[in-house]
Amino acid sequence: MLVGRALSVRVPVSVGVRAPTCVGVRAKHTAAATIFDPVVRHALSAPEVIGLVHSGVPCPYLLTIVGFTVLLRSAVSLPLLSWQRKRNERLARTVLPEWSVWKKQIPASIWKRLAPTRKVGPEMERHLQRQIQRSLQEKWVHLTQLYDCSPLKTTLVSLSVHLPVFIAVTMLIRQGALLPDSPFLNEIVPWWSPDPDFAAQMAAQKELLLSKGLPPQLAERITSLGGPTLADRDTTMALPVILGAVNMLNVELAAFMRQRRMQRDDAIGLGSPSAAAQRDPVVDQLEIELKEPLSSRMLTTAARLGSIISIPIACQVPSALLVYWLTSSLFTLGQTIRMERLEAKE
């Protein structure tokens, strides 16, 4: 009778079984079949093809997601990082020294040409300031285009490469978790732990079944502890909070590196205006905008808000997708730290 009652509660599967309390968690984000399902199914078969499922390795699908993310980011991000470093080096070693010369000469030249007596009224002074601003902006654009190191282009190219890849993998993993026969359903997340009393009860039942002569493998399957799987949302809130913290750390570290780079340029005389330019508020303002544009500051603020918003968003997606997002964010963090160390040595 005990065996029959246990079998009515637990259904044997290959890896693990979800607890009945987790069924409602996944039912809220199921999806209909799509034309991409064949591709998704082939991708989900990777752990079985490479032998992880039957090798006895714990959490084969989670390890596959982590390994795939690291390989993908290495193949995409590292070459792009090398390209970005070369452009930034040209900007720092070639463009900024020339710019430090031009930002002294252009204001003096315009004042000498348009106001040789240095006695001008308010209207003429505003006109001269507009001329200086326009000329400095044109020279900056010309230099960055001449040496092919425009910071805006560097940022846009990076986004145009990373964003489509991130969206494609996100859609693939999400759809894989929503399949009715998804293998993610059979893998309990490793950061979840069952209630100690319930675990002790299941252990006692297992010993009882073994004493009755039930095969050990069947007894293990019958008494295996269910729990949230990779196809379920993370009700523990562990990964969403960690993801938000790592994202915020990435934003702050990038902002810190940018500020330190500006301070380094000022220290060697590439970021400070000349004595003549310092008397011109337009030059001062333009200098600040070139080094730390308003758009850059706005993007940093938006990224901080995005890091906070990512926590409630992460609470609504399958845990398999959380693993991908967190692994990708950790890879970005490691890459940023590596860049910071390389810049510190230079």
Last residue of a domain, one of 223, 255, 283: 223
Verify that 132 and 280 share a domain, yes or no. Answer: yes
Cα(138)–Cα(291) distance, rounded to whole angstroms? 16
pLDDT number for residue 277:
42
Same domain, 47 and 152: no
- Count up the domains in the chain and report the number: 2
- 230 in a domain, yes or no? no
What pLDDT, on a 0 to 100 scale, did the predictor assign at position 222? Answer: 65
Kindly tell me if the per-residue pLDDT of 105 is higher than 80: yes
In contact, 212 and 3? CB cutoff 8 Å: yes
Query: Is there a single domain that holds both residue 13 and residue 76?
Result: no
Hey, CA dihedral for 308, 313, 319, 320, is it positive or negative? Answer: negative
- Mark whether 152 and 10 lie in a shared domain: no
Same domain, 148 and 271: yes
CA distance 134 to 114: 15
Q: What is the pLDDT of residue 225?
A: 62
Residue 3 has pLDDT above 50, yes or no: no
Q: Where are the alpha helices (DSSP H) in 95-150?
A: 96-114, 122-146
Distance CA 80, CA 84 (A): 6
Mean pLDDT of 193-221: 71
- Reported as a single tens digit per residue, the pLDDT across 119-176 is 667 787 788 888 888 998 899 999 999 999 888 888 899 989 999 999 999 999 999 9
**CA gap 172, 40 in Å, rounded:** 6
- The pLDDT tens digits of the residues spanning 285-306 come to 455 445 566 667 788 889 999 9
pLDDT band per the 50, 70, 90 thresholds, residue 223: low
Query: Among 190, 223, 256, which residue terminates a domain?
Result: 223
In a domain, 322, yes or no: yes
Structural domain contains residue 229: no
Q: Verify that 161 and 214 share a domain, yes or no.
A: no
* Same-domain pairing of 6 and 118: no
List CB contacts of 150: < 8 A, sequence separation 6 or more: 141, 144
For residues 202 and 154, membership in a common domain is answered with: no
Q: Which of 166, 197, 223 is the last residue of a domain?
A: 223
Classify residue 338: in a domain, yes or no.
Answer: yes
Average pLDDT over residues 40-52: 88
pLDDT of residue 65: 96
Neighbouring C-beta atoms of residue 184, cutoff 10 Å: 24
198 or 40, which is more confident: 40
Residue 30 lies in a domain: yes
Q: What is the dihedral of CA 150, 151, 154, 159, to 10 degrees?
A: -140
Please report, rounded to a whole number, the percentage of residues in the chain having pLDDT higher than 90.
32
pLDDT of 287: 53
Residues spanned by the domain of 17: 2-61+178-223
Say which DSSP state 94 is in: I
Task: Identify the bridge partners of residue 229 per DSSP, sorted by sequence position.
Answer: 188
Please, what is the average pLDDT of the chain?
A: 79
Same domain, 68 and 148: yes
In angstroms, the CA 102 to CA 98 distance is: 6
Dihedral of alpha carbons 285, 287, 292, 293, sign: positive
Candidate ranges 193-202, 247-256, 264-273; pick with highest mean pLDDT: 247-256
314 and 291 inside one domain: yes
- Judged against a pLDDT cut of 80, whether residue 265 lies above it is answered with no
Specify the pLDDT at position 36. 75
Query: What token pair was written down for 241?
Result: 């909070």
Do 266 and 334 reside in the same domain of the chain? yes
pLDDT surpassing 50 at residue 333: yes
Which residues 6+ apart lie within 8 Å of 106 measured at CB? 132, 135, 136, 139
- pLDDT greater than 90 at residue 246: yes
CA–CA gap between residue 89 and residue 332 (Å, rounded): 21
CA-to-CA dists, residue 208 to 13, 214, 235, 294, angstroms? 21, 9, 32, 69
Residue 228, domain member (yes or no): no
- Split at pLDDT 50, 70, 90, the class of 10 is very low
Can you give the pLDDT at residue 18?
Answer: 40
Same-domain status, 198 and 244: no
Specify the residue for token string 């009945």. Answer: 20
> Residue type for 220, please?
E
The residue among 233, 230, 313 whose CA lies nearest residue 44 is 230
